[in-house]
């Protein structure tokens, strides 16, 4: 058992494909080697723009021989009048066996013939040849190409193939190449062939040839180099994970270089400059300690130049026209106020069946007018923000740099003299942009954010364009979760039922008549359910609260906070069991509507005591419940535990006397309703010890 290295050398791969292709190679080969019983551990993946490779530990050279048992026909079907039948002859021919190799086994269905035979193990090179062909066929690639006059297809032309098992070279033939034990170093620093004498030496051998083969090691080197270069410049780097991954996939030997640009470009919003640097040039921007953009950047070269100033100068030159274009768009947008773009939104499509962005803005305005007083926001500011929130879609800078959507609106609204709350709402009504990210920071932004999200959700969902599986092209899950987070984390006591209803009203006749309001609310509540579980609440506790038909997310969380400590008490265990029992009894008795209790029919001391206690605590629990003092309500509810336990011990509910039975069922019904004010206790599961 020894290590196995497989490497495919290529012309430079697109950055987005480097790791997916390398991971796929390692995963698919490991699966096949595991099936064959030849691999001893997880694969080590290597990936650079010019190679994808995997190293497998403790790989055997050949499978062990296996004893296999092949079931043939039944004895009755195999022989007729003592002579072999066609069924037996066909089986022997297919198995390439003779009759004397057969044996008989007994089964519940009679005697059957079996063939026990030795299956020789396959050689590693044979298994790899099949596995490699399958891996390449299924490898994720945006497109496949051919090169020269070869019939083979790959994302980029393949230059070499390396396959080494221990000290042996495996003669694999693939993509028109025969594998060798040769790899190649950096295209410029060490282009000569490198002999891999042992897979364990692969990483070190490439490092000597100016190739950092391990993606994660190279990524960390780039991060460290950027931090060090920024520190030397007295700055803080803007390091986006996606950019860091992309740059790592573009280089084999990273070298950080610091460049500068004309400070006059700092008149442009820093977000636009940062986006231009990141997306167009793959530069890391630099900020001062106050968060202001500096006229400097860090780029990662793929070469250790003897004349670094020349490399710096080249990078400084290419950024100038990019910034010049951005400055032009910024200056162009100064010719119009943000509000002047509003009429043009009628020419921008929101969704084919839901009209224009102008239509959407008017609906946001309608919903915002309803939400503003409920969320403590200034109505006039919300009205203005609703008009402005989508206007930057028609600005030149957003047309050129799509990620400036919202950000440009903030700058332009501030430039036009609007309040900071309105200006911030231009950007923050898109918040949260992803799971766990920042929420809108002021009441106006919150109102517009919720209005925008509910409009999208109701409109798209109402047209029947619901998310399916992993596909959510309109971001409805994100919109629903955004609403949930804003209402809960920013303590906005809004009813989802009312919110959806108001949004449907704002759409008017645009939505079909069968748009299901309840289904839309349930969709948001399902996101709330996941949100709560992610924050440590158990599924049964969440379901117990939602079963009460609560449609205010903030109210749901307040109940969860009360239930969580309560369920750990002995009273919770007892009352939960009692609630389950009561629910089952009422269900069997078909009791669905509230029945009055006749005090004169209470005969047993246990039912009298329970009734009297019920009369005492019911007003208290109701008062605490209405005040949302759920913890107090649950504590008061726990006081019923002893009387409920005694009732079930001493009282026969299903009495033969129909009047007594009906009265006791009515008593249980009121007990159950009172116990379940905050949550449906019958849904709580016993806590595992």
Backbone dihedral region for residue 63 (phi beyond 0: left; psi -120 to 50: alpha; all else: beta) = beta
pLDDT computed for residue 645 by the predictor = 84
- Contact at 8 Å (CB) between 177 and 57? no
Distance CA 66, CA 159 (A): 39
- pLDDT (tens digit per residue) in 503-554: 999 998 888 877 789 999 999 999 999 999 999 999 989 999 999 999 999 9
With a CB cutoff of 8 Å and minimum separation 6, the contacts of 675 are: 575, 578, 579, 637, 640, 681
Task: Provide the pairing of β-strand 110-119 with 66-74.
Answer: antiparallel
Mean residue pLDDT across the chain: 91
With a CB cutoff of 8 Å and minimum separation 6, the contacts of 579 are: 672, 675, 676, 680, 681, 682
Which pair of tokens denotes residue 77?
A: 């079907």
Tell me the backbone φ, ψ of residue 474, rounded to 5 degrees. Answer: -100, 5
Task: Write down the residue that tokens 């399902």 correspond to.
Answer: 526
- Higher local confidence (pLDDT), 574 or 52: 52
Beta bridge partners of 270: none
Beta bridge partners of 351: 355
pLDDT computed for residue 465 by the predictor = 85
pLDDT computed for residue 340 by the predictor = 96
- pLDDT (tens digit per residue) in 354-394: 999 999 999 999 999 999 999 999 999 999 999 999 999 99
With a CB cutoff of 8 Å and minimum separation 6, the contacts of 663 are: 597, 598, 601, 602
Percent of the chain beyond pLDDT 90? 64
Which domains does the chain show, CATH number per domain? 2-62+123-208 (3.30.70), 67-119 (no CATH), 215-333 (no CATH), 338-535 (1.10.3210), 563-683 (1.10.730.10)
Please state, in angstroms and as integers, the Cα–Cα distance from residue 183 to each residue in 105, 132, 193, 199, following that order.
56, 18, 6, 11
pLDDT computed for residue 593 by the predictor = 65
- Contact at 8 Å (CB) between 674 and 616? no
Distance CA 356, CA 346 (A): 5
With a CB cutoff of 8 Å and minimum separation 6, the contacts of 96 are: none
- Contact at 8 Å (CB) between 654 and 661? yes
Distance CA 643, CA 607 (A): 8
pLDDT tier for residue 493 given thresholds of 50, 70 and 90: very high
pLDDT for 614 beyond 70: yes
Least confident of 52-56, 427-431, 474-478, 683-687: 683-687
pLDDT computed for residue 648 by the predictor = 82
Tell me the backbone φ, ψ of residue 491, rounded to 5 degrees. Answer: 50, 55
- The 10 Å Cβ neighbour count of residue 628 is 16
pLDDT tier for residue 592 given thresholds of 50, 70 and 90: low
pLDDT computed for residue 668 by the predictor = 83
How much is the CA Rg of the chain, to the nearest whole Å? 36
pLDDT tier for residue 42 given thresholds of 50, 70 and 90: very high
pLDDT for 405 beyond 70: yes
- Higher local confidence (pLDDT), 61 or 377: 377
pLDDT for 689 beyond 60: no
- Higher local confidence (pLDDT), 432 or 621: 432
Distance CA 275, CA 329 (A): 14
pLDDT computed for residue 94 by the predictor = 78
- pLDDT (tens digit per residue) in 92-106: 787 787 777 778 887
- pLDDT (tens digit per residue) in 147-190: 888 888 999 999 999 999 999 999 999 999 999 999 999 999 99
CA angle 415, 428, 352 (to 5 degrees): 100
What's the predicted TM-score (pTM) here?
Answer: 0.79
Which of 494, 506, 517, 648 lies closest to 584 in space, CA to CA?
648
- pLDDT (tens digit per residue) in 272-324: 999 999 999 999 999 999 999 999 999 999 999 889 899 999 999 999 999 99
* DSSP character at residue 180: B
Beta bridge partners of 84: 79
- Contact at 8 Å (CB) between 287 and 230? no
pLDDT tier for residue 1 given thresholds of 50, 70 and 90: low
Distance CA 363, CA 351 (A): 14
Collapsed DSSP state (helix, strand, coil) of residue 113:
strand
Distance CA 234, CA 673 (A): 66
Distance CA 42, CA 56 (A): 7
Which of 398, 675, 688 lies closest to 563 in space, CA to CA?
675
Query: Which range has highest mean pLDDT (407-411, 642-646, 676-680)?
Result: 407-411
Q: What strands lie across the sheet with 293-301, from one edge to the other?
A: 236-237, 284-287, 293-301, 255-260
- Higher local confidence (pLDDT), 63 or 348: 348
- The 10 Å Cβ neighbour count of residue 140 is 10
Using a CB cutoff of 8 Å and minimum separation of 24, what contacts does 210-213 make? Answer: 210/185, 210/186, 210/252, 210/253, 210/304, 211/48, 211/51, 211/185, 211/186, 211/252, 211/253, 212/48, 212/252, 212/253, 212/254, 213/46, 213/47, 213/48, 213/51, 213/53
pLDDT computed for residue 649 by the predictor = 84
> How large is the average pLDDT for residues 321-329?
93
With a CB cutoff of 8 Å and minimum separation 6, the contacts of 669 are: 582, 586, 591, 594, 595
pLDDT for 352 beyond 60: yes
Which of 517, 525, 448, 456 lies closest to 484 in space, CA to CA?
525
Q: Cis ω on the peptide bond leading into residue 432 (within 30° of 0)? A: yes
With a CB cutoff of 8 Å and minimum separation 6, the contacts of 577 are: none
pLDDT computed for residue 490 by the predictor = 96
pLDDT computed for residue 168 by the predictor = 93
**DSSP assignment of 454-492:** HHHHHHHHHTT---BTTB-TT-HHHHHHHHHHHHHHTT-
pLDDT for 469 beyond 80: no
Least confident of 262-276, 327-341, 401-415, 650-664: 650-664
């Amino acid at each position: 058992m020894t290590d196995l290295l497989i490497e495919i050398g290529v012309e430079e791969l697109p950055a987005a494909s480097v790791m997916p292709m390398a991971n796929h190679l390692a995963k698919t080969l490991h699966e096949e080697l595991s099936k064959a019983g030849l691999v001893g551990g997880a694969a080590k993946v290597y990936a650079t723009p010019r190679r994808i490779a995997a190293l497998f530990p403790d790989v055997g050279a050949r499978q062990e021989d296996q004893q296999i048992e092949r079931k043939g026909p039944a004895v009755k079907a195999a022989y007729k009048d003592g002579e072999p039948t066609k069924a037996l002859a066909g089986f022997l021919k297919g198995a390439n066996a003779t009759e004397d190799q057969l044996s008989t086994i007994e089964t519940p269905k009679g005697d059957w013939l079996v063939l026990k035979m030795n299956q020789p193990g396959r050689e590693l090179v044979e298994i790899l040849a099949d596995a490699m062909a399958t891996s390449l066929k299924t490898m994720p690639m945006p497109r496949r190409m051919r090169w020269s006059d070869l019939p083979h297809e790959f994302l980029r032309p393949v230059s070499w193939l390396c396959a080494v098992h221990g000290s042996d070279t495996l003669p694999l033939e693939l993509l028109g190449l025969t594998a060798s034990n040769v790899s190649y170093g950096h295209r410029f620093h060490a282009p000569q062939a490198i002999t891999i004498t042992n897979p364990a030496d692969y990483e070190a051998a490439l490092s000597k040839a100016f190739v950092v083969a391990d993606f994660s090691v190279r990524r960390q080197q780039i991060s460290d180099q950027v931090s060090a270069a920024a520190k030397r410049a007295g700055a803080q780097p803007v390091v986006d994970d996606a950019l860091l991954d992309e740059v790592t996939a573009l280089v084999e030997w990273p070298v950080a270089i610091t460049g500068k640009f004309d400070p006059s470009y700092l008149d442009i919003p820093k977000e636009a400059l940062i986006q231009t640097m990141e997306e167009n040039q793959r530069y890391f921007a630099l900020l001062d300690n106050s968060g202001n953009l500096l006229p400097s950047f860090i780029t990662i070269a793929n070469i250790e130049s003897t004349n670094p100033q020349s490399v710096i100068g080249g990078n400084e030159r290419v950024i100038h026209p990019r910034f010049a274009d951005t400055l032009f768009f910024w200056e162009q947008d100064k010719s119009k106020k943000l509000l002047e773009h509003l009429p043009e939104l009628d020419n921008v499509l929101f969704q084919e069946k839901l009209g224009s962005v102008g239509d959407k803005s008017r609906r946001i305005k309608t919903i915002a007018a309803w939400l503003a007083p409920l969320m403590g926001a200034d109505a006039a500011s919300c009205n203005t923000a609703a008009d402005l929130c989508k206007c930057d879609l028609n600005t030149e800078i957003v047309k050129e740099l799509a990620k400036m959507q919202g950000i440009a609106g903030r700058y332009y609204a501030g430039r036009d003299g609007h309040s900071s709350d309105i200006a911030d709402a231009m950007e923050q009504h898109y918040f949260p942009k992803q799971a766990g990210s920042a929420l809108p920071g002021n009441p106006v932004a919150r109102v517009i954010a919720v209005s925008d999200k509910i409009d999208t959700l109701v409109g798209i969902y109402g047209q029947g364009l619901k998310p399916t599986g992993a596909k959510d092209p309109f971001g409805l899950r994100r919109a629903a979760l955004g609403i949930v987070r804003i209402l809960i984390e920013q303590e906005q006591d809004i009813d989802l039922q009312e919110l959806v209803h108001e949004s449907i009203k704002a759409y008017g006749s645009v939505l079909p008549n069968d748009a299901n309001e309840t289904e839309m609310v349930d969709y948001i509540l399902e996101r709330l359910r996941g949100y709560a579980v992610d924050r440590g609440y158990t599924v049964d506790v969440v379901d117990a609260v939602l079963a009460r038909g609560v449609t205010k997310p903030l109210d749901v969380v307040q109940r969860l906070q009360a239930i969580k400590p309560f369920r750990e008490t002995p009273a919770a265990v007892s009352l939960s069991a009692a609630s389950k029992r009561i629910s089952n009894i009422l269900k069997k008795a078909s009791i669905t509507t509230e029945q009055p209790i006749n005090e004169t029919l209470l005969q047993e001391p246990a039912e009298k005591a329970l009734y009297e206690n019920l009369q005492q605590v019911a007003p208290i629990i109701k008062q605490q419940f209405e005040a949302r003092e759920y913890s107090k309500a649950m504590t008061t509810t726990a006081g019923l535990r002893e009387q409920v336990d005694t009732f079930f011990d001493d009282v026969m509910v299903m009495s033969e006397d129909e009047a007594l039975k009906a009265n006791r069922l009515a008593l249980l019904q009121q007990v159950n309703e009172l116990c379940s004010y905050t949550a449906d206790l019958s849904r709580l599961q016993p806590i595992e010890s």
